[in-house]
Every structure is written in structure tokens, then in C-alpha cells.
Amino acid sequence: MAYKDHIAGQILAEHLTEGKLVAGTEIGIRIDQTLTQDATGTLVYLEFMSLGTDRIQTDLSVSYVDHNTLQTGFENADDHLFLQSAAARYGAYFSRPGNGICHQVHLERFGMPGQTLLGSDSHTPTAGGLGMLAMGAGGMDVALAMAGDSFFMPVPRVTLIHLTGELRPWVGAKDVILHLLERLTVRGGLGKIIEYGGPAVKSLSVPERATITNMGAEIGAWTSLFPSDEVTKQFLTAQKREENWTPIHAREGAEYDEVIEIDLSHLEPLVACPPSPDAVKPAHTLSRVKINQVAIGSCTNSSYRDLKLAAELLRGKKVHPQVSLIIAPGSRQVLSMLAKDGSLADMIDAGARILEVACGPCIGMGQAPPSSGVSVRTFNRNFPGRSGTPDAKVYLAGPQVAAAAALTGRLVHPSEIGTPPTVESPENFLVDDSMIIPPPAHPEEVIIRMGPNIKPLPELGSMPDTLNLKVLLKVRDNITTDDILPGGAKVLPLRSNLPAVSQFVFASISPGFAEKAKTAAGVAILGGENYGQGSSREHAALAPRYLGVRAVLAKSFARLHRANLINFGVLPLLIGDEGCGQITEGDDIEISDLHAALTERDSVVVRVRSKALTCEGKLDLSKQERNILLAGGRLNFHRRKLAVDDQSSRE
């Protein structure tokens, strides 16, 4: 199969630095652009600083502030100053708080067809809407890419989603991706790149494409991407950056590992029910659900188009008395355009509560629903507790269903509220980059500002030959990084302070975990399928490691979290039902002869000392991953490599 004929293959081939494009093997690729956001970015910059490189090596790196914008204490404000000074010192653009959500702003101002983007956020594939190969990664991988290193990944399988037909009125891009989530589930994209093609692609605008690629993260895909065509050109021209456009299409006869057909004309308005983005049902079948809150925004649905659609539906009407309507536009560009064309006034008049342009309620930064309340959100994740209210129920929908829910207090087919609005793609977006600070002319003069909440990275020891561990926790399938380390207004400000943030590891599902882990000599976690789905937050690997977690035994791992575990020297061990299926919480396990196993074997023996049984754990790891684990993490591995290179250059 000619891997290079589809769009993903063409971009990978152009960026290949190591290996060959053979499915399943490992390759290294050059990264053109990186993005970081504040909640992961402080760690990325601390990591970058410890790599010893003086200047960012990518074509473009942008540091965004969009998550931790609720300043209830000095912590977040201090982080902003640290990020601003580090960006200036090392050569990144800095998108100031108030400028917008990283993915929305990157789509508007920086994304480029045919290029590679690595971001320390799982929704980085949003830029795939522009025909960019945009991937989420752990912060350490992003720091290394900023230092000029290749990004290593297995060659993914490529799925074509062949789009035909046309969306009917009231049906939007969110319904396309919810439909796909229903078909593929939250595990369906594991190990795959999802590529879109077919005659219906041209009917979707770039922001609609970006909604679809954004939520490819929820399918577990490496990334998702669209062709770059005349629609892409029109979008970039309207953003005054026509020069950034290049066409990119799959070549005639490109072969895919799998082809999935979607006839857009068969879709209807859909909703993902709690507790998972793949629990999808038609909106009209849920009309008995009574709603307390509607939130419109997030990197999935906060473009000008989405908010204008909502505003058109709200115009001249009033929000239902039982519903609190919250609107957080995706960027300053979007908010300003809504203000200038009167849409903002329509929303305010209808009774909407307008928030600043940021992630906000999507990551539990305020606007938690009432106890056992129901919230309808245009976001991408409805994991339990993520909203900030443990027993709230979150339904995910597009802006039209959300606006209808705000007006009626129920989940309904939006046709119940009138005639369908149409929103044309603007010929000119309002371009004002004054909230994006470019790197200064004299970076050496910049002093990096580190507030008292910013703590240094810990030194991690190398992998011992024998691990004696207590199984402190057994968790269900599809456990999320929100379960491992929650977001929210209380925990997020501690992201730069590892000792403090680690107190919250597994706090919502196993209160007291941190204390117990600290007193155990070494800890293992027992997981199910798709362990660690969701965000890219490397704190969900580093903080458990800091508490003494040395291995996770699971049936399968979500790719971002798996990479983060390896980056911090935590062994991801694959186990099956036989034998290891009998391990329970409280068991003591021993994994011995690890050095030899990590050097040359594909499995280890897990001895369950408390039950006098043994079982097999699989090591499905590349050579580089094995070496990283042996070194005790990516930073140690990098330092050793530098020392070896240095030694050989002196010889």
C-alpha cells in the first residue's frame, strides 16, 4: 500500500527525519509549529529550560493563556507572567489572556495547510480543519520539539471518512462528529489518523471542519484532517493570510486501511448523553430532560459562525426562566465581530451571561451547574465531575440544539423554535493581532519571572531491576485523565506546583489516595481498557509518579497518556483477563528482571505475592520507549544522550 498518497502520508513523508512509512513501525518527524496553553505550558517551559537550549528551534511556537484565567489568587496571574517572560526569552509568540482559546486562535491566525503542529493539548487536531497535521502530545514531547528534536510516533493506520450528500437545515458539524462517535466509540480511533474526503467536503466551511477534527480527540485518534481546498483558501484570505494557503488533496487512487461512508443528508440533530461523548441519541428523543444550564463555547464550537448561529436563534426571544445561559466566545476576533454586528446585543437581550474568551466552564473554571443539575454544552467532554459538580449531568450538542434548549428549557429538535438561520462565511474577519506579542529583538535582556507557586521539576530515579509494588487502586474501563487528576478552579492553579497538585491524584474516585501512596514503598494501578483517555495533561502521569506510582497494568492505554507515562518513567504494562485478571486492590506484586526484559523481551512475569500466582504482562514498546523507561523518563534519557554525544564529539 502506498502510504504517501493520502494527505496524512504526504505530510508525514515531507517531514520524515527517521524511519520509513511502514504501518506499525516507529518514525521521527520534523515539527514546524508548536502550541502550548497555560495549564500545560508552565511545565513545558520548565522542561524546555532544563533541556539547555537557548532558543526555540521551530518555525513558529505560540504560548497561549486560555485555561487558567480565573484569578482567585496570585497563582494564575504569576503563571501568566512566567509564560510571557519565557516566551520572550526563548522566542515564542505570546497570546495574552483575553485573546482566546488556543485552538480557535491558532486556526484563525497561525495554522497552515501541509505543515505539522504539535500542541500540549489534546484538541490540537482542531487545526486539521485547515489541512494541517496537528497532534496533541505530552508537554515533554512539545518541549523537545521546541528544542528542535523530532517527534517520534508509530506510523498510524489511516481511515477515510467519505462524506457525501448535504447537511439538512438544523443539522451541523457537531452532528457529523457525534454520529461518528456513536459509530466508532471513544476507542474507535486508537492508532488511527482520520482523514476526510468525498464530494461533501466542499460544503463544509473551515470552522465546521475544525469542529469535526477537534472532536476526533474523543474518538481517540492520533489526529484528524481535511483537504486544503478553495474553501480553505477563502478562509485564509478572509483572515488576511492568503499567502499561507497551499492546496493539499489525497492523490488519485490513494489507499486507506478503512473507509467509512457518511451521507450528510441522513444526519439529524444529535446529543451525547452523560457520562461519555459516545453515548449519542437524537435530540428529539430526549425532550423529557429538563435543563438548568446551557453553555455555548469551548474549542469545539466557539467560532464566529457557531455563535452567530446561536445569536440568530436567540434574537428577540428570552431564555427560559429555569435556564442559566452562558456564552464564552472562542476568541477576541469572534467576540469583537459579534459586538460589531449586533449579535452580542441579541445574546445579552435574550438573557445570556457573557463570559470572557477562554476555556472557562469547559474545564470547570467557574459556572459549575447546580447539584444533580442538567447542563447542555457545546463542548467536547461530558465526563462525570468535569463541570465542577460531581452529580451534574452534562449533554453535548451543537449550537443550534443548545440555543433551542436555552429557550425551551428542554432538549428538543431545534425546529421547534422557528425557521433555520443561515450564516455565510465572512468575506473579511476582523484582524487585530495586538494581543499577540511577538518575540522581542533582544531576548537576552528578558528576565524570567517565577512566582512562589512555580516549583522546580523533580529529579526522577532510573528504573530499578525489580519493582515491588502495592496495587493501591483498581479502576474501570475508559478511566479519564480528569479522574486521575481533576481540572477545575481549585486544582488548575496548582499545575506549576507538583507537590501541591499531586494531593489531588485520584481524589474524586479514591479519596486519600495521595496519602496512602506516599506511605507505600511503591505503587501500581490496575486499569481496564483505554486507560487515561481524554486530555494530554502530563501532570496525570507525573503527579502519580511523584507519589510513587511506578507501573500501570491495563488492558489498553489511551495514546497520549501512555506516552506521558513513559516520559515520566512509569511502566505501562498490558495485561489480559487470564491470570492477571485475578489481581485485586491491596495485592502486592513483584516484577523482576526488568532491565533484561526492557532490553530484549516482549513480556515480564508479574508475581502476585499476596495470592501466590503469576501472570504475564506484555511490553508493547518501541526501542526508544524502552530506553526512556530504563533511564527513568524522557528528561534523564535526553541528558544521557547529550552526554554520550558530547563524549563522542570529544573523542
| Binding region for ligand SF4 (CB under 6 A) | 67, 101, 121, 123, 298-299, 359, 362-363, 380
Quote the least distance from Cβ 539 to ligand MIC, whole Å: 7
CB of 64 to ligand SF4, least distance (A): 9
Closer CB to ligand MIC, 15 or 123, in the complex: 123
Q: Please say which residue, 244 or 302, places its beta carbon nearer to ligand SF4.
A: 302
Pick between residue 491 and residue 574 the one whose CB is nearest to ligand MIC. 491
Least distance in Å: CB of 49 to ligand MIC?
Answer: 19
Q: Rounded to the nearest 5 degrees, what angle is found at the Cα of 535, between the Cα atoms of 603 and 363?
A: 155
In DSSP terms, 554 is beta-bridged to 574
Q: Which of residues 590-629 bind ligand MIC (CB under 6 A)?
A: none
Which position among 15, 109, 123, 162 is part of the footprint of ligand MIC (CB under 6 A)? 123
- 114 by Cβ neighbours in 10 Å (0-12 / 13-18 / 19+) ranks as buried
Distance CA 363, CA 204 (A): 28
Residue 77 dihedral angles phi and psi, to the nearest 5°: -60, -40
| CA 467 to chain CA centroid, nearest Å | 32
Which of ligand MIC, ligand SF4, none has residue 289 at its interface (CB below 5 to 8 Å by kind)? none
| Positions 48 through 87 that interact with ligand MIC (CB under 6 A) | 67
- Residue 101 contacts which entry, ligand SF4, ligand MIC, none (Cβ below 5-8 A, type-dependent): ligand SF4
Give the residue with the Cβ less far from ligand SF4, 216 or 632. 216
Residue 308 CB contacts under 8 Å (≥ 6 apart), including other chains? 338, 341, 343, 423
Q: How far apart are CA 135 and CA 122, in angstroms?
A: 7
The H-or-E segment that residue 612 falls in is none
Q: What's the min distance (Å) between Cβ of 75 and ligand MIC?
A: 15
Distance of closest approach, residue 545 Cβ to ligand SF4, in angstroms: 23
Which lies closer to ligand MIC via its Cβ, residue 532 or residue 632?
532
CB of 216 to ligand SF4, least distance (A): 13
Distance in Å, CB of 228 to ligand SF4, minimum: 23
- Nearest Cα neighbor of 7 from 235, 182, 160, 211 is 160
Residue 99 binding result from ligand MIC, ligand SF4, none, given CB thresholds of 5 to 8 Å by partner type? none
Count Cβ atoms below 10 Å from residue 623 Cβ, excluding itself. Answer: 9
Q: Determine the Cα–Cα distance for residues 280 and 218; give it in Å rounded to an integer.
A: 13
- What's the CA gap between 126 and 214, in Å, rounded? 4
Number of CB atoms found within 10 A of residue 202's CB: 12
Looking at the Cβ atoms of 45 and 245, the one nearer to ligand MIC is 45
For ligand MIC, the closer CB: 9 or 487: 487
Helices (H), 315-458: 332-340, 343-350, 399-408
The residue behind cell 517531514 is 15
Q: Which does 537 bind (CB under 5 to 8 A by kind): ligand SF4, ligand MIC, none?
A: ligand MIC
Which residue stretch of 120-128, 191-199, 275-283, 627-635 sits at the interface with ligand MIC (rule: CB under 6 A)?
A: 120-128
Residue 489 Cβ vs ligand SF4, minimum distance, rounded to whole Å:
13
- Cβ nearer to ligand SF4, comparing 102 with 130: 102
Q: Which three cell numbers stand for residue 615?
A: 501472570
Query: Interaction with ligand MIC in 526-555: which residues (CB under 6 A)?
Result: 534-537
Q: Give first-to-last CA distance, the chain, whole Å.
A: 44
Q: Report the nearest approach of ligand MIC to the CB of residue 142 (Å).
A: 11
Beta-carbon contacts of residue 465 (< 8 Å; ≥ 6 apart) = 592, 593, 594, 595
x/- binding map, residues 356-385, to ligand MIC, per CB under 6 A? -------x----------------------
Query: 87 CB contacts (<8 Å, ≥6 apart)?
Result: 61, 63, 93, 94, 437, 439
Kindly tell me which of 122 and 378 has the beta carbon lying closer to ligand MIC.
122
- Is-cis flag, bond preceding 156, omega within 30? no
Q: How far is the CB of 558 from ligand SF4 (least distance, A)?
A: 15
Helices 539-547, 38-51: crossing angle, 10 deg rounding = 70
Considering the complex, what minimum distance in angstroms separates the CB of residue 302 from ligand MIC?
Answer: 13
Compute the 3-state secondary structure of the chain and give helix, strand, coil in percent, each to the nearest 5. Answer: 35, 20, 45
Closest contact distance (angstroms) between CB of 543 and ligand MIC is 12
Strands 93-95, 436-437: pairing is: antiparallel
Strand order in the sheet with 26-29: 16-18, 26-29, 151-154
Nearer to ligand SF4, 90 or 383 (CB): 383
Give whichever of 95 and 510 is closer to ligand SF4, judged by the CB atom: 95
Task: Name the residue nearer to ligand MIC (CB basis): 200 or 566.
Answer: 566
Among the listed residues 252, 134, 236, 141, the one whose alpha carbon sits nearest the alpha carbon of residue 194:
134
350-364 as b/e: b if 16+ CB within 10 A: bbbebbebbbbbbbb
536 binds, among ligand SF4, ligand MIC, none (CB under 5 to 8 A by kind): ligand MIC
124/556 with CB nearer ligand SF4? 124
Which one of ligand MIC, ligand SF4, none interacts with residue 485, CB within 5 to 8 A by kind?
Answer: none
Choice between 260 and 435, CB closer to ligand SF4:
435
**Contact stretch for ligand MIC (CB under 6 A) within 117-125, 230-238, 516-524, 642-650:** 117-125
Site map (CB under 6 A) of ligand MIC, residues 462-501, x = contact: -------------------------x--------------
Q: Are 494 and 501 in contact (CB under 8 A)?
A: yes
- Choose one: 90-98, 118-126, 193-201, 463-471; the region binding ligand MIC (CB under 6 A): 118-126
Cell 513513559 locates to 566
Nearer to ligand SF4, 283 or 363 (CB): 363
Q: State the nearest-atom distance from the C-beta of 344 to ligand MIC, in Å.
A: 25
Written as one letter, the residue type at 460 is L
Select from 477, 478, 449, 8 the least CA-distant residue to 228: 8
Residue 563 binds ligand MIC, judged by CB under 6 A? no
Binding site for ligand MIC (CB under 6 A): 39-40, 67, 121-123, 136, 363, 487, 534-537
